[in-house]
Every structure is written in structure tokens, then in C-alpha cells.
Amino acid sequence: MNATIETHQLEKVRDDFTLGPLDVAIESGLVTAFVGHNGSGKSTLLKSIMSLVKPTSGEIQVLDTNITQSENWKKEMAYLPQDKLGFGPFNGHQLRELIADLYPNWDDELFHRLVHDWNIPLSKKFHSMSPGMQQKLALALTISRGTPIMILDEPSAHIDLASRHILFDVLSEWMEDGERTLIIATHHIEDIRKLADIIAVMKEGQLIAQEDKDSLAQTYTQYWLTGELPNETLPGEVKRHEQSIITDQPASFEQYLNQHDQSWFKKESLSLEDTLAFMLTI
């Protein structure tokens, strides 16, 4: 596996919250989407990778370099935080100049295409733009950096549907060369559907799953039984709801029913959205 980012026993302890210890590996060529409730630790993890939060213990490697040992890796990464601190007093032209200077592979053509497609008023000061416009400008300023790694914390926050579709197109184009690494943290199921290859599920500071999107969507099957539900817990049973049972072991579940002369009149695998919601609640 070609991991571009790896954490080893990464831990961040705060008064009311502990992240980790986490061993996460992010592969290149893929889009990894971090999902989880607010406060699950997604942003803290991403900030730790960007060296904006100091871990309590453990280490982080980016492109085989321990991030505390050199600063060179920073030029290889583009990061979109949720709070765009420091942008306020500048207009789009000024921000472009400041940021383009820092990144040797800055893609000015892509930047201007996004400014055009998203109708971003570059002469307006950042703090006087609407939240949606601020997000689009910040995205354009991040995606155009020409880096091999990009981390976007809530990329589609505040932006309208049409702009979001442009974002999906641009990000999949950005991934086209097959070597780049994109990490997003998101609450939007559409971001996950359209962009994600790997889904990393975070719950209460822990990583509870990290799997290929299409395999993850096969995790749970729901069966509606004919006749009364048996009293005992069935193979792989994770939940009962009225006449139905959800299992994560459909093969042994069906075998059990056949052996006990029970049948079902409907079976469905849970949708990706329901699977994620379910994983985060059980």
C-alpha cells in the first residue's frame, strides 16, 4: 500500500474529549471521506495532520516524513479549514497574490476558471462576502495550489446545489492523474456518493471503520419475516424493527431461518446513507 499519510498511536487529550489513539493510513490515488457526528474528532485529526494541533502523543508521517522534523511537506499540501481566519480584510485579488506566491505549482488557469464558473467578485473584501461566496473563494484558493495532497474540511458547506456540482466536477478532474490524495470531512451524503472511494467513519474520537465505499454499503441486510419474530437473537442480528431484523451476517442468518422453517417476504440491503446513520447510532 502506498500510504501518503500515516498516524501511529496518535492521541489528543482535552478536558472533555479524547481523540485516538489512532493508527490511520491514507492511500494515494483515492478520495478518503471522513464522516461522523459533530465533535467526533474529524477536524481535530485533520488539524493534527496539518500540524495546527499539537498531539498529546503519537506521531504523524506525511510522504514518509515525520511532520515535526521538517516543514518541507507543507508545500505539498493544500488545506481548507472550516474557519477562514485571517482572510477577512483582503479582497480576492490580494488573497490570490499572497497564496499563489507560496505554491510553486499554483494553477492560475484553474483559479480563474473557478472564479468565472462560480461568479466570484474578486474585488470584494472577504469579510463583506456571503458565507457561500467566502466558501467558494476559499475553495478556489485551495484547489488551485497544484499540490499532490489536499485536505478539505466541509468543502460543500454553505454553497448552493449548482456550485456544488461544479465542485464535484473539478475535484474529480483534480484526481484524474491517479497519484494525488484527497481527504474530505463531510456531513453531506452527496459529497460521499459523488466523490468518495474510501469512507472513514469516526465516532467519539475513534475510527470505527475505514472501507471501500461499495463494500461498506453491503454491511447490513434487512429482512422482513413472515410470522412472528423468534425470541432469541439471530445470527448477526444488530437491530429489530417491527416485522424486520437487520443483520450483518446474511448468509448464516438465512441458514438459521431455513433450519427453523421461517421465511421472509422481503429483503433489502441498507442504503449507503442508512448504513452510515446506523453505524453512527449503534
Residues near other proteins (CB under 8 A) are: 29-31, 168-169, 172-173, 175-176, 178, 193-198, 212-214, 217, 268-269, 271
Report DSSP letters for 170-226, one per residue: HHHHHTTTS--EEEEE-S-HHHHHHH-SEEEEEETTEEEEEEEHHHHTTS-EEEEES
- The DSSP secondary-structure symbol of 70 reads -
Which uninterrupted H or E stretch holds 140? helix 131-143
Task: Name the minimum Å distance from CB 264 to other proteins.
Answer: 12
DSSP 149-163: EEEEESTTTT--HHH
Question: CA 13 to CA 50: how far, in whole Å?
Answer: 17
Query: In the bound complex, what is the minimum distance in angstroms from residue 258's beta carbon to other proteins?
Result: 15
CB of 83 or CB of 176, closer to other proteins: 176
Of 252 and 271, nearer to other proteins (C-beta) is 271
Residue closer to other proteins (CB basis): 251 or 282:
251
- Cβ(155)–Cβ(191) below 8 Å: yes
Smallest gap from Cβ 243 to other proteins, in A, equals 19
- Residue 73 or 220: which CB sits closer to other proteins? 220
Nearer to other proteins, 102 or 251 (CB): 251
Min separation Cβ 269 and other proteins, Å: 6
Instruction: Between 117 and 274, name the residue whose CB sits nearer to other proteins.
Output: 274
Q: Which three cell numbers stand for residue 151?
A: 485536505
Burial (0-12, 13-18, 19+ Cβ within 10 Å), 1: exposed
Task: With beta carbons less than 8 A apart as the criterion, state whether 227 and 248 touch.
Answer: no
Instruction: Between 95 and 225, name the residue whose CB sits nearer to other proteins.
Output: 225
What residues are paired with 3 via a beta bridge? Answer: 27
Inter-residue contact 81 to 89 (CB < 8 Å): no
**In the complex, minimum distance from the CB of residue 175 to other proteins, in angstroms, rounded to a whole number:** 5
Least distance in angstroms from the C-beta of 217 to other proteins: 7
Q: Would you give the DSSP letter of residue 236?
A: T
Minimum Å gap between C-beta 74 and other proteins is: 26
